[in-house]
Chain A
Amino acid sequence: MDLIEIKDVSYSYDDSKKAVDKVSFSVKQGDYVTVIGHNGSGKSTLAKMIAGLLPVKEGSITIDGLEVNEENIAKIRQRLGIVFQNPDNQFIGSTVKDDIAFGLENKRVPSKDMEGIIREYAEKVGLTPFLTYEPQNLSGGQKQRVAIAGILAMAPDIIIFDEATSMLDPKGKKEIKQLMYDLAAGDDITILSITHDIEEVLQSDRCVVLNKGKLFMYDEPEKIFAHADKLREIDLDVPFIEQVREAFGKYKIRLKSDDLKGMVEELCRSGSKS
């Protein structure tokens, strides 16, 4: 049984059209799964349902065998954290320390243990010099790191990133993505990342493509981008590297590398041989 199992889940905000329409897929423990699709394709709705912020009215979502519903929600929230898009609107405490403490207070961690936990996770995301800073003196990327530290401090199994880098400057974006890759590299934390960043998709283990609320594809990124024409059909971007691969494919040249440098080498080698 997989860690997250989503079966025939549907959701509609009003009765006219479905934001999420009979979506089913499952995520293994420790996987790094990206979710792509256009605005309005149901990505965030799905994420909110997994986190129990929206009720699952049709179908079912289970996390480690526990069904996401009113009854289990407290247990599930102990195991799952979500990083939202807007860095300002998830900063609850008045300082970095207080914000990391917020989740611990809810989890009823004894007061005397908090300081140590806060320091440990602030260190992990590189925020130690900023512990007493107030949110208005932090950059967007730093605020997102605070949010991540606050979630890590609660020792979750699953972290959902809901377009967590989309409001950041290039530097902040890079930092948060690196932090996410580092977390994904371990086996303990399962990551579900909703994103528009096609380069990030290439780093993930698997990718969910949603279109108009329906599951369009769910596979390893390489396999998904092998169907570039299908992605173009629903107006999604194909990463540059895959475009190169595809262009050479038309001339019956199969390139296997995952980066540009490797491809160039491959091409030059095959050229010199013939």
Chain B
Amino acid sequence: MNNLVFGKYIPIDSFMHRLDPRAKLIGLFLMIAAVFVPKSWWVFLVIAILLALALLLAKIGIKMIVQSFKPMIMMMIFLLVINALTIKTGDILFTLGPVEIYSDAIFNTLFVIVRLLLMISITTLLTATTNPLDLTLGIEWLLHPLEIVHFPAHEVAMMVSIALRFIPTIIEETMRIMNAQKSRGVDFENGRFSEKIAAILSLIVPLFSVAFERAYELADAMEARGYVPGAERTRYHVLKFRFTDYIFILICVLVLTFSILSRFYL
């Protein structure tokens, strides 16, 4: 569970870490749009350069970004195979037995792959530089307008932040139950599929029952401390847009504009 890179927060201090989470979220949406719009490699090059600069500012190694690509490799291979078999335009590059591979198949696939890799890199950059709690606050702020149509933005944010808070506790609990079941002879690693299912069940059932108990006690604790869902509360963390945040958003807007214009002029 620890080698999961995608979505992992790197708790260091950097220029990117200090940006307002709302600015980074808006930036994420703008940049993803900018990655999806263009048909020219030049735009990708510009975005890649800016991304490299942002990584430098975030003090995040290229190694982490490359690692975040790992789960996508299978999908990319699949994409390449499907495209190679179906796209029949452009020049014939070479033939593999009965299948002729066309240049467009290769180029189109590469284009989509680069697009995906850029998107993953941008998202990894956001999650690596933003504390999950700040991210929750940012999302809550973005969802705030939806409260007009009675969307419970605050409650959703509270739920997400409590879920985040309890992830380590639940993992610890899982390990404890696993050890307890192992000591009673449950084998989680070996055996047939049906045996493995039974083993997992012996983990999941107690885990759920304990989680529900926790939830009840937590609800009591929250209520006792004066929490009323939907009631007005003040905030300890107050998000503040600074000059650099506006500059950051402006750069993202410029990139998106460039990307849209590139469809007409490049």
Contacts and interface: CB of A to CB of B under 8 A. Distances in A.
A73 B226 CA distance: 9
B169 A88 contact: yes
Interface in A83-136: 84, 86, 88-94, 97-98, 101-111, 114, 118, 134-136
B227 A102 contact: yes
Given A88-B214, A104-B234, A108-B232, A150 B225 contact: yes
B162 interface: yes
Contacts of A89: 214, 217-218, 221
Interface residues of B, number: 29
A171 to B, nearest CB: 21
A135 B236 contact: no
Contact of A94 (B161, B233, B238): B161
| Residue among A74, A81, A92, A118 having the largest count of chain B Cβ atoms under 10 Å | A92
Interface residues of A, number: 39
A98 B137 CA distance: 13
Given A94-B133, A134-B168, A82 B236 contact: no
B9 to A, nearest CB: 11
B169 A81 contact: no
Nearest to B167: A136
A272 B14 CA distance: 77
A78 B214 CA distance: 24
A196 interface: no
Interface in A178-235: none
A135 B165 contact: yes
A88 B162 CA distance: 12
A77 interface: yes
Given A88-B214, A90-B217, A111 B238 contact: yes
Interface string B196-232: 0000000000000000001001101111111110011
A154 interface: yes
Contacts of B169: 88, 135-136
Of B132, B162, B227, B238, most A-chain CB atoms within 10 Å: B227
Contacts of B233: 105-106, 108
A91 B223 contact: no
Interface string B136-164: 00000000000000000000000001101
Contact of B220 (A53, A81, A154): A53
A36 interface: no
A164 interface: no
Contacts of B236: 97-98, 101, 104-105, 111, 114, 118
Interface of A: 48, 51, 53, 74, 77-78, 80-82, 84, 86, 88-94, 97-98, 101-111, 114, 118, 134-136, 150-151, 154
Given A89-B217, A94-B164, 12 more contacts: A53-B220, A53-B224, A77-B225, A82-B224, A89-B218, A92-B165, A103-B226, A106-B233, A109-B234, A110-B234, A135-B168, A154-B225
